[in-house]
Chain A
């Protein structure tokens, strides 16, 4: 066999040698070589190689195998049913063992199902639009004065200009969110915040179903209005609203709209969501001053002729800009975002509503997988731990002629039966937990979804995977016993390899569990930190009232006076925004005195006197803007620390500042800084703190809100007083208000949810792992019953025995935790990187988590050890 021609690959020779009986080798190798030489005469080397490999594979058949089985394997139906009968009996016989397996796997599966439903829902966003693959959202990137903003929203003229400019832009629409007071003929009033203006092509581009009206023409005319069913119901009950007229009040003006259609309510998995849509062309009359290239409040969508036009359009943007934007003097860039990416992969400012995050989806999927894995490890570990007890069974079966593969089949079928019973339990648990899970995630799930589409197939595959994963090692291990040895009882404490694998699995299991514990602790700490420590202002007892009319905004002083007269009200301040409100800050240019840059883009908050007092901002230097200083209104500025840092001032009080802003035209306001406030959280915690300049602007439409700080005593009475004064001041507007702390809670709902969900799943993982450790400890202590009896008889104390029994497991838990530290550190650091302000992951967090993990270990192992240690040695010695 030493001779070998170079053409036949070594691997092929090795394969033949290891599989085929030696009797055939010489002949086969000779044949292969001759065949190859023959084929090389009229074929390429590659082809000859391919044919050679085909022949090699064809020779690897049972007939030529080394240890050829004389009988073919039989898998008759009778045998299969017997497998399952025996498996079922086994499950019933070992109730405790089966309970732990089934409970662990069932809980793990329930987690998987719940998380799977959640992920499916997240991924289903905006997937129902027929032409969805051709629809893109146009995004804007704008760099101004050193600040870059990537926005989901764009300018009024953009969409129609794109459509008229490029033939491959099939359709284009804008969505302009709006809020207005709607007045019906019978004088009923509704404040509508879920309202949009959309172009007439909107209903054709997107597949929102219409109940009444034509989607291609409903919004063609100015002053047409389309309602969703729930809005129609609210307005008109069961009456057909088609053709009815409703009035919209905005500012001083009232406009009449005709209802031209009714839409089916928006599905929950749509990022576009509204209750009322009005034709965009109406805005030409309502707000003609908005049609310019400076302010980006609308969302623009284009439908391209085909998907490939995306690149063409992207490539056309530079030309487009030089054609339309050169005179504007602003650096601006456009991008395209596929509709399918809007919900999970956006990461832009000015989103229309709350969006999800693909990172959370991955994180949840990982957690689900890990929990299932922990359940699977329980099964594997307990099965091998019980091997001593089953060794005799294996020996007997082998003696009676069972083949190894048949035995493996036997053990695999046990794990499959367990997996299927667990699926049943998992489905029941899912069904029970679904409403709770829905309320935690803020979604509504239907259990029936599990039976739809590919889901049953996926479920069966999942179970098959679980069965294989849990069963293959025990099957391989148990079926390898040698019958003579086991029947003589020689295999009870066999092989260190098995113990090693078992310990490895326990370590792995607890490493996962500990990582989840660390993750949960970090998330809770971070959320606490953000929502309490880091805020920089006092969010309690502050309420905000929107001033929706221009008249109110300009004449709010009298209202303010009426309100401040009450002792339950501490202070009142009008402003263009408030912390937690994502708009209300305006980008304007600031020219500071003797600074490194002579003009900077800053966020400007128009805020009345007493703003700092109302929100409990801390004044670091100087003073608040105050009515006591008459010049404050016309030339006073208050800035925050970030602004001072950005300008480069170390001692800002008294410095001169010129603000270039916009009312009806560009205006300049010269003044000086009167005070500096400590940085506070205005926007989302995911963003860095913005530099903000505050200034007073009396009688201006910028004052959209009035914020009120209550003393905190008799809140209800104070609100009643506010409402009373409001009604006399502004009789035809309902009094609306919101507490700032509630606004903040809403803003961080997604993060809080993440914390809650992860926390509960981590708890579950811990529980399942504990079950496993508990029963593993039970088995090993049981095996050592006699040893313990002897030790006690020889004078070992209870504590000696407990330490002896627990030491091994505690070491494993400790090692696992050591492994978990770096893993969880890196994972959680990436999560924390998503926040502008974050906690340090110090030793404290790890010490706390480690203590929790060890405590769990002690609890699950300690009980077993104590029981064994306190047992009477006389009974222990009679054991077995």
Chain B
């Protein structure tokens, strides 16, 4: 199965889900991305990406249990599928390969 292509924000979301391991849902993903990148992210963007990744088969989800912090509402927990892991890994591989090919030059401004 060919690995679906990843957009840069999709990659961030997917990585965040992997990092959060079993604890990934909308708000946590949002905070993770904000903490790591310093970017301001809207909830809608995060959710839209989560569901898109799910449609691509890179994430799977199920409704979790109720908690007090959310007024008793349940949350949808996301987990990476193996295809999802594969996708981030292969994207990292591509990057590393290309970095290793980079000549040892000082970057000129």
Contacts and interface: CB of A to CB of B under 8 A. Distances in A.
Interface of A: 3-5, 24, 26-35, 37-38, 54-55, 57-61, 63-64
Given A35-B27, A38-B27, A63-B51, A30 B43 contact: no
Interface in B57-105: 69-76
Contact of B71 (A27, A33, A55): A33
Nearest to A31: B26
Given A4-B71, A37-B69, A31 B27 contact: yes
Query: Chain B interface secondary structure, helix, strand, loop or mixed?
Result: helix
A5 to B, nearest CB: 5
A34 B69 contact: yes
A4 to B, nearest CB: 7
A26 to B, nearest CB: 5
Interface of B: 25-27, 30-31, 42-45, 47-48, 51-52, 69-76
Given A26-B73, A54-B42, A55-B43, A63 B27 contact: no
Instruction: State the 3 A-B residue pairs at the shortest beta-carbon distance, nearest first.
Output: A58-B44, A30-B73, A58-B42
Given A30-B70, A34-B27, A35-B27, A64 B47 contact: yes
B34 to A, nearest CB: 11
A24 B70 CA distance: 15
Nearest to A37: B69
Contacts of B51: 63
Interface hub of A4, A5, A34 (most chain B Cβ within 10 A):
A34
A61 B44 contact: yes
A30 B44 contact: no
A57 B47 CA distance: 13
A799 to B, nearest CB: 68
Contacts of A63: 48, 51-52
Contacts of B48: 61, 63-64
Contacts of A59: 43-44, 47
A32 B46 CA distance: 12
A716 B5 CA distance: 101
Contacts of B30: 35
Contacts of A57: 44
A37 B45 CA distance: 20
A3 B72 CA distance: 8
A28 B47 contact: yes
A3 B69 CA distance: 13
Contacts of A34: 27, 69-70
A31 B77 CA distance: 12
A27 B44 contact: no
Contact of B74 (A24, A27, A60, A64): A27
Nearest to B55: A63
Given A63-B48, A64-B47, A27 B72 contact: no
A30 B75 contact: yes
Nearest to A5: B71
A30 B65 CA distance: 12
Contact of A3 (B31, B71, B74, B76): B71
Contacts of A64: 44, 47-48
Contacts of A58: 42-45
Contacts of A24: 47
A32 B75 CA distance: 11
Contacts of B69: 34, 37
Contacts of B70: 30-31, 33-34
Contact of A30 (B31, B42, B71): B71
B35 to A, nearest CB: 12
A55 B44 contact: yes
A27 B76 contact: yes
Contacts of B72: 3
A5 B76 CA distance: 20
Contacts of B44: 55, 57-61, 64
Contacts of A27: 25-26, 47, 73-76
A33 B42 contact: no
A33 B69 CA distance: 8
A55 B73 contact: no
A38 B47 CA distance: 18
Contacts of B42: 54-55, 58
A32 B30 CA distance: 11
17 contacts: A3-B72, A24-B47, A27-B26, A27-B47, A27-B73, A27-B74, A28-B43, A29-B71, A30-B74, A31-B26, A31-B43, A33-B71, A58-B42, A59-B44, A59-B47, A61-B44, A63-B52
Contacts of A4: 71
Contacts of A37: 69
B59 to A, nearest CB: 14
Given A5-B71, A63-B51, 16 more contacts: A4-B71, A26-B74, A27-B25, A27-B76, A28-B43, A31-B75, A34-B69, A35-B27, A38-B27, A54-B42, A55-B42, A55-B44, A59-B44, A61-B44, A63-B48, A64-B47
B24 to A, nearest CB: 12
Contacts of A28: 26, 43, 47
A38 B73 CA distance: 16
Contact of B31 (A33, A38, A55, A60): A38
A150 B25 CA distance: 77
Nearest to A25: B73
Contacts of A60: 44
A324 to B, nearest CB: 67
A24 B27 CA distance: 14
A54 B71 CA distance: 21
Contacts of B47: 24, 27-28, 31, 59, 64
Contacts of B74: 26-27, 30
B98 to A, nearest CB: 33
B84 to A, nearest CB: 19
Given A61-B48, A63-B48, A63-B51, A35 B43 contact: yes
B62 to A, nearest CB: 12
